[in-house]
Structure 1
Amino acid sequence: MILSNEGTLRSAVSDHGKLLPILSADLVPTLEEYSHLLGIPVSIRVPFSGLEEIPRSNFIVETLHLKKSEIEAHWVKKGGLFGLPSDFLIKEATAFAKARTIRLFLIGNLVPTLLGDMYFSLHLRNSNGGGTIVCCNPLLYKWFILHLPQAPAFVENKQCLRWSQRLMSLTNDDIVWYDPSLSSLEIIDSCCEFSNVPLIGIQGGINYNPALARRQLGFPLRDKPNKTLLKGIFYQEGKDPKHLKQKIVHAWHNVHRKVRSELGPCNCVALEAYILWVKKRALELKMPYPCERPMSMVMVEPLNLPNQDVEELEDTLTKMKQEKDMWEECFRALSKKHEELQLESKDNDALIKLLED
């Protein structure tokens, strides 16, 4: 399966208008998962905020290993933004590398920004009831399919079902909840005074709740989350009366990380109390969908036994066949003896009757 373009991903989530709340209710992308998919660690540096100074030409020269004269000659303003045209950076390209994009890469902490863009765009799209998802769609798609079943019935989709039909047919047991390769990562649990993790994307800021993602990181979801952990924040660029951007930037100077030993033994299950909370939340969000099962997701796995066990079973089977043959021979001998005794009995009865007469 290849990565999706924007249109494919948009069809995956827009075929059914309320699939996005499902995503936020029980299965959520995390910094750790994005970091693992990209092969880029979450740095200790404060992520991109847009408040940084426009990089000077000498700094860009050191980073891109280009001549200062070349940078200064091509540093232009377009749409009110300074940057480098990508026909300078990449031959035959026509896009424009904005200064803020250059700053984003120079900071060296991409993962929080990419995750923030995704959450911001999904939240805005869901709130408005439509629109285009503006984020790194191939990354979101790759994360999404990693949690979907790998059974041929689902992957091959021979029935040519729509994404909505395929997704709405899934049950809790069909989802691939945990990737063991994440077991060595530290978990960013909160930042400074925030009870969860605030993120800044290109278009605005939002937070996400690691408390809902414990299962994806290998830990059980035992009970409904504390309301303080679910407190949401959101602002759009240029519309930030509460100055949330500055608060988020400050919070990323004090990131609270947890090692796996602090969260208990690995056991990626959801207990009854949490499941009841999810069901109640689904009703509140008007998501009581009937479950569809258009395809069989049950896979009968072959029974693989060690060679020693196979040999023992074969010996046992041979002995059982020998015993069966022996008992069948005994049965035939006894049956024959029974017939002979019956005939002898009849002869004796006839002789007794003759003597009595």
Structure 2
Amino acid sequence: MENAIRRTHRYEFKKPDLESLRNLGRMVKNPEHFRNRYGYLLNILRTNVDEGLINTLVQFYDPLYHCFTFSDYQLVPTLEEYSHWVGLPVLDQVPFHGLEPGPKIPAIANALHLEIADIKNKFITRAGLQCLPYNFLYQKATICFERSETDAFEAILALLIYGIVLFPNVDKFVDMNAIQIFLTQNPVPTLLADTYVSIHERTDKERGTIVCCAPLLHIWITSHLPRPKVKPEYLPWSQKLMTLTPNDIVWFNPTCDPELIIDSCGDFNNVPLLGTRGGISYSPVLARRQFGFYMEMKPVYLILDRDFFLYKKDDANQRAQFKKAWYSIIRKDRNQLGNRSVIAHEAYVKWVIDRANKWKMPYPRQRLVTSTVSAIPLPLPPESLEGYQKQLDIERRENSMWEVKYRKKKQEYDTVKNLLDQQIQANCKEKNENARLKASIQRKEDFLDKICPGRKKRRMDLFNGPHLDSEE
């Protein structure tokens, strides 16, 4: 087993001062109304980020497969998960890609429910972008709140969250990129792209500040971590993550169970993402268990290392290729994703272990790793090796029995489903035949009534007149 450790690096995350913005968020009188219009922005705003956790998480970033690779499993931020935690759908349109000129002042004023004069001449250039000052927007939001102008207050608050929390760039300013994304009402693809692009770029340079929505990344990773039933003793996150087994991970969240997932776009075998500063891709194949499906064999032809570029260095014009791909979104439904299960095929786990050994873990291993069963914590005393081997044999047999039971249950389910389908078809056929006969009889009755004068009246009298028994 490879025991070498990869060198770790210290990264910073963009940390805007959120206290005054949180105070503004507390002024929302109807959170449900705000949520229906702008998603879970208030939840993201209130999230306290554990910097130790996300700094440790970044150490596991795998630049070859654009995911987080641990000892024997991988985690992949996906569009569907980010959409769930943001509370907004991924729209069927090309995401923000910074090609079009910025929106005109009338469009911005209309979206904020303000007069054009309110924001005219308020834009300032910072870092090469037109920006609105935070203090100006904060003051406007306060005035709208005092005047009970709810729509304007909520719109300005949402824009502030976009510019300061979701897409932080220039301190104390909301830049034009954030404004454009706010107007599209489709922030999720850009949010995920910025997360990947910034982590990929910084880990490649082994230094610097990661500029993305840190609260959303924190929400995503904690959703997959087990929650201790009792208050645990303090341990560094490096040790906590290195002791987790695939059985400890919360793979599937029932509240995040999309009918369809975006599997690829255009000519790409993966999902290309366009952010505010560049593009990158990720592979939903590696996220099967996060959608509640069985991870089958190891991925084939999984090549992602070339799918990364910065707009300022896009010599191959990849931005145009990424944009074109989003005109052909390919989705898969539950029937196409395979069997419901969060376990993984042995071949896939072996592939992950080989990758982890080749890429090297950033921290010392805290447990044994196996491709067939969950590992147990180290150190393991020599006298327990025989018992451990017996445990492995037992769990292998249990896994085998589980697979047999699963196949049997699936066969039973398919049999019952086929019988029900046949019965439904038979019932429909019988219903249609009855309707046909009823219509035929009615046509004959109408024909007889037509050629036999008085027949219809006698028939009506027969059914509507007094019964013979009553006459007696």
Task: Give unpaired runs (5+ residues) of structure 2.
Answer: 1-45, 143-159, 161-170, 368-376, 379-472
SS at 2:312's partner residue? coil
User: Residue by residue, what CA displacement relative to the aligned partner does 1:250-303 show, whole Å, maximum 9, x if unpaired?
Assistant: 111111111112212321210111111111111221239522549xxxxxxxxx
Residue 50 of structure 1 contacts residue 100 of structure 1 at CA under 8 Å; is this kept in 2?
A: yes
**Normalised by the size of structure 1, how large is the TM-score?**
0.75
**Mapping for residues 132-281 of structure 1, pairs under 5 Å:** 132-153=209-230, 156-158=231-233, 160-228=234-302, 230=304, 232-281=306-355
Question: Which AA in structure 1 matches 2:240?
Answer: R
Number of equivalenced pairs = 287
- Is 1:3 the counterpart of 2:78? The answer is no
Residue 58 of structure 2 contacts residue 199 of structure 2 at CA under 8 Å; is this kept in 1?
A: no
Question: Which AA in structure 1 matches 2:133?
Answer: P
User: Residue by residue, what CA displacement relative to the aligned partner does 1:60-86 show, whole Å, maximum 9, x if unpaired?
Assistant: 122111101122232333343223222
Distance 2:342 2:249 in 1: 12
* Deviation (angstroms), 1:225: 0.6
Q: 1:40 to 1:96 in 2, by over 3 A?
A: same
Question: Which AA in structure 2 matches 1:178?
Answer: F
Residue 32 of structure 1 contacts residue 185 of structure 1 at CA under 8 Å; is this kept in 2?
A: no
Partner of 1:61: 109
Residue 46 of structure 1 contacts residue 109 of structure 1 at CA under 8 Å; is this kept in 2?
A: no
Partner of 1:339: none
Distance 1:257 1:79 in 2: 38
User: Residue by residue, what CA displacement relative to the aligned partner does 1:276-333 show, whole Å, maximum 9, x if unpaired?
Assistant: 1111111221239522549xxxxxxxxxxxxxxxxxxxxxxxxxxxxxxxxxxxxxxx
Partner of 1:104: 181
Partner of 2:68: 24
SS at 1:180's partner residue? coil
Q: 1:3 to 1:68 in 2, by over 3 A?
A: closer
SS at 1:205's partner residue? strand
Q: Comparing 92-101 with 233-242, which one deviates more in the overlay?
A: 92-101
Partner of 2:132: 84
* Deviation (angstroms), 1:104: 1.3
* Deviation (angstroms), 1:3: 3.4
Distance 1:115 1:17 in 2: 15
SS at 2:323's partner residue? helix
Q: 1:80 to 1:17 in 2, by over 3 A?
A: closer
Distance 1:18 1:248 in 2: 28
Distance 1:24 1:232 in 2: 18
**Normalised by the size of structure 2, how large is the TM-score?**
0.57
Task: Give unpaired runs (5+ residues) of structure 1.
Answer: 295-357
Q: 1:271 to 1:44 in 2, by over 3 A?
A: same
Question: Which AA in structure 2 matches 1:81?
Answer: L
Across the aligned residues of Structure 1 and Structure 2, the Cα RMSD in angstroms comes to: 2.3
Q: 1:124 to 1:230 in 2, by over 3 A?
A: closer
Partner of 1:301: none
* Deviation (angstroms), 1:183: 2.4
SS at 1:182's partner residue? coil
- Is 1:12 the counterpart of 2:53? The answer is yes
Distance 1:111 1:152 in 2: 33
* Deviation (angstroms), 1:125: 2.3
Residue 61 of structure 1 contacts residue 71 of structure 1 at CA under 8 Å; is this kept in 2?
A: yes
Distance 1:59 1:189 in 2: 34
Q: Comparing 245-254 with 13-22, which one deviates more in the overlay?
A: 13-22
Partner of 2:365: 290
Question: Which AA in structure 2 matches 1:19?
Answer: F
Distance 2:134 2:202 in 1: 29
Q: Which has the larger radius of gyration?
A: 1
